[in-house]
Chain A
Amino acid sequence: MHIAFITFLAAVTEETAKAGKSIGLGVGGGLGAVGAGVGIGIIFGKAIEAITRQPEMRDEITQLQWLGFALTEACFFYGLVAGLLAAFIV
């Protein structure tokens, strides 16, 4: 009776650990993508706004826009790396 219960519990814990890893990957990738998506949208929107206001500053604004894009995009990868760590390594 007891042994059966313990084996049952062990199986449940293993399944739960697997589920937790999947949740970690999903949250790391998914929520990271949400934040970075909003950020990238704001950056490009503001860049277009700035260029329409001052077209003569186009080159400078474009450079800053790519800088901001890469910095924001990197935040998505921080989440993704954390998710991958949770899923495959921990």
Chain B
Amino acid sequence: MNATASEPAPPTGSDPRPASNVKRTLLILAAVWIGGMVALFLIFGSGGRNNTYQPQNEFKLDNWVHLGVFSINKAVLYLFLAAIATCVSMIYIARRMQARPNKVQTAVEALYQLMRDNIAGGNLDERMAKRWFPFIGTLFLFIMFSNLVGYIPLPTNTEHKIDVLGLHIPSFSLYAATANLSIPLVLALMVFVSYTFEGIRAKGPIGYLKGLVPGGVTGGMAVFIFFLEVLSNIMRLMSLSIRLFANILAGHLIILFMAGALAVILGLSALAWFTIPFGIALFAFEVGLVAALQAFIFATLTAIYLGGAVAEDH
């Protein structure tokens, strides 16, 4: 009898202790979260609606250096930052290539392989892939760096200043060159020009226009489809640019609201405590997935359009 009583319980699955520990930690965290919110609400209450803070001013572009059309503002600064980051990091790594790669080199090599084999090689034939891989790879890296630089808080918000030891420095804000419609639009225009150019070179101007209509369609239907195809070529410009711009802008907006803008507008300090975990989670999502994914999509679609422009039949 005694022997059976002192026997340890049969092992059912995993050890129950760690599970309960995790559960307890989660419960404590949830209690701190909810309790903190209630406490903050009781202490500070509602300050009433704040009408002076305009969230759209976070994306306003003030000219810092006045040079007419070439004025330098926040977007230009971020454009330069992204370009410098791309060039410096890639040239530095390429110069220091070693036979036994370290972690950074392995990551860059994986990126290079993705660009060469999947993005360019997977959608273009061998000759085209060789010719256009530098363009597609540069687009991919530049967009990715531009998106990632945007998630580093930099003192660029000249709308609001903070006082540090008598120095008025601009408050820290998130902004990306790609969160402004102009820059994705210019990139999309470059893509449009290059695939049209490549198509005309491969088939001649008449042949390229004829190639827009699929083979076997004749008469009035061919005219209709021709206009539809021309329209869809113009829509490609819009969809390429708006996809990139809106993804990054929406990411910045939702991080802004979750990280406190909502609380500032509504005058509820307790709300900021409530939304900040969502803000951190969304920040991780944007940095980890969206920044690289949008660059990947842009480069892949560029390769698909280039391949489609030179393909023999539609």
Contact = CB atoms under 8 A, between A and B. Distances in A.
B243 A77 contact: yes
Contact of B118 (A63, A73, A78, A81): A63
A50 interface: no
Contact of B56 (A70, A73, A88): A88
Nearest to B289: A66
Interface residues of A, number: 13
Contacts of B243: 70-71, 74, 77
Interface residues of B, number: 14
A61 to B, nearest CB: 13
B247 interface: yes
B297 A80 contact: no
Nearest to A63: B118
B169 interface: no
Interface in A48-83: 63, 66-67, 69-71, 73-74, 77-78, 80-81
B150 to A, nearest CB: 16
Interface in B288-303: 293-294, 296-297, 300
Nearest to A78: B242
A51 to B, nearest CB: 18
A71 B118 CA distance: 18
A71 B250 contact: no
Main secondary structure of the interface of B (DSSP, over half): helix
A77 B118 contact: no
Contacts of A73: 247
Contacts of B297: 67, 70-71
Given A74-B239, A88-B56, A80 B294 contact: no
Given A63-B118, A67-B297, A74 B246 contact: yes
Contacts of B294: 70
Interface in B276-296: 293-294, 296
Contacts of A74: 239, 242-243, 246-247
14 contacts: A66-B293, A67-B296, A70-B296, A71-B243, A73-B247, A74-B242, A74-B243, A77-B242, A77-B246, A77-B247, A78-B242, A81-B242, A81-B246, A81-B249
3 A-B pairs with least C-beta separation? A77-B246, A74-B243, A70-B297
Interface of A: 63, 66-67, 69-71, 73-74, 77-78, 80-81, 88
Interface of B: 56, 118, 239, 242-243, 246-247, 249-250, 293-294, 296-297, 300
